[in-house]
Structure 1
Amino acid sequence: MSYEKGTEDWIDETENSNPRESDEVVEFEVSHCTRWIVIIVTDDFDDPKEFGPIPLKLCRWLQNRDVQFILLQREVNTNEFVIECALEEDAKSKHEELLQKGYQGPVPTGSVKLFEGQRVEISLLGNVSMAPFSPKPQITFHSQRSNLLHMQVMALEAKGQPGLDGKGNTSFFASPRVEVPREKEQHVRAAVALKGNEAVSEFPKPKLLCQLPIHVPYKTPKVSSEPGADASKGVEKYFYYVKEEVSTDWGDLAFHLGFKWADTANIAGRNRDDKSRCMDMLWEWKKREGDAATIEVLMEALSEAELQSVVDGLKNKYPDIVASEEQGEKE
């Protein structure tokens, strides 16, 4: 079937394509290059039917891709990592592009196979951990778009060994492509129990694809010399609350913080939801502005973006903001 761009009407091209079928292949002719082939399959879970060798091979060929994983960290901030799942033929160039942007780290993994729409879970092993505000460690692979994830990683303090760097492995797991409904799983387990079989029926489990080493230098928390000073006084302490409250309006806030359209488009493309995009944008703003990124500037931008309710919520949740404002008025 085909359709003209800008319309929603599909036209059956079967007779025009002169299909020729044999036991081994199906041949057909097209008048222009095609980008997508869509196969619609109805699967009856309770009464499975044989799919057939030709469409099965075609599905596997269309959906299966050789990919490599890239994991690099920023030179200026070793706690900030970027993970990318790239097609095998693009991995080298994408790796070099990130190196030119100020990242460093190991070479890409060896090639593994993924299907279109495959969900990949990321797990850290060793005395390293995802930062609490980091986005969910998960990538959904699509060959026609960027599969990029930005993470904040920290070294865990080893008991009895303070100051030890964080070292370990980043593991990539392919989640099962078939999800068993919970009620179906419970039904099967109950049936196995009734038969007196000790072995519980096996359901699809995540598959380990590959691993990359990870090294996060341990950073001693900075303690201010001023009496009673708060070591977490930076504007980043307010980021979690802001991203939870702003959510879908993060683009308006980004505009008033000085981001251009291309910047917001890049942030939107590398994150899976609005809350992750908002958090990513806030950290980008902090990196750009440095010490000039203050809570006062952030609240002013929130007000200009017509998000005064978030400003009021910040003042209610963090009394130190109000105290700082009052102190500034007195001075």
Structure 2
Amino acid sequence: MIGRLAGIASRSLFVFDPEIAHNLSITALKTGISPVCPPKPDPRLTQTVAGIRFENPVGLAAGYDKNAEVPDTLLKLGFGHVEVGTLTPKPQVGNDKPRLFRLVEDRAVINRFGFNNQGHDAVFARLSARGDSKGIVGINIGANKDSADRIADYVLGIRRFYSLATYFTVNISSPNTPGLRDLQARESLAALLSAVLAARNEEADRAGKRLPVFLKIAPDLTEEGLDDVAAEALAHELDGLIVSNTTLSREGLKDQVQAKQAGGMSGAPLFAKSTAVLARMRKRVGPHLPIIGVGGVGSAENAAEKIRAGADLVQVYSCMVYEGPALPGNINRGLSKLLDHDGVASIRDLRDTRVDYWAAQPL
């Protein structure tokens, strides 16, 4: 009943401009009251990835709680982890409004936010106030649009938040900061990973703990680009990949009016493309490098299929716009039922069972 009411409340936000609706949802969560009942923990969904114990495989992708305003309330919805950001050293307002668009018929979203966030100092103070709060909170770091040294911005993110993060995500795949995706090119990526991981290693020595660093990539990379990312990830002993960010593709969309909006598209239409890229990366990097699958996860079957294609964990965001705050709990309940039905002892046993199928799908 509570979940049904939460879904109705979520859909009622559709009467508002999308960005206003997003801000209202953050305001509602600031009460600290979870609008849904999370599922009971299922030990079959628990696994250790990149040295971190995740109670379930469903996380919230960066972009929703950009300024780390409500990570603990979000964890109460049933997420196994929450990723905040993207955070840049200096505050920035992002691109001009309107910059968020719903494609309801497609169950998709287009955004061109441009890393709008309050900057390192404000978010550091907010996360510090969490005190001993439990739960996995990842920090997604980026570079300011006007930065003279974007690699230095990522290094600053590592150093600033090392005492507060559970893990880091290096975001070089947003299409909404001009030139950012150029950092995925092999030479640039090598320089970035060298600097970021050197900073992580120095901070690890000081803190006495080693935090994982993930790299978030775009779904629009060519086969050669995927080769380059895989090679550099392995050469630098990166801790994992997040596949993928939003896409510039508009293929197959029904809403051809909103499809003309500039920005990255996410939601249900991204599922097949992002899952094919995920499987291709799994085949390139082998079985040991952790991968988080993102893109179009709106059900337990979507999540299971990402895992079958090679993901260790999944993240959701845009599909929650349409499914409401009960989505993470519903996915976890559905995964438990799937394991019951298939007689599978652990969610880990699903991984890679359809990687060949998905790797063969067209991009």
TM-score band, normalised by shorter chain: under 0.3
- Bigger fraction of residues in strand: 1
- Bigger fraction of residues in helix: 2
Greater RCO between the two (CA within 8 Å, min separation 6)? 2
What TM-score, normalized by structure 1, do the two folds share? Answer: 0.25
What TM-score, normalized by structure 2, do the two folds share? Answer: 0.23
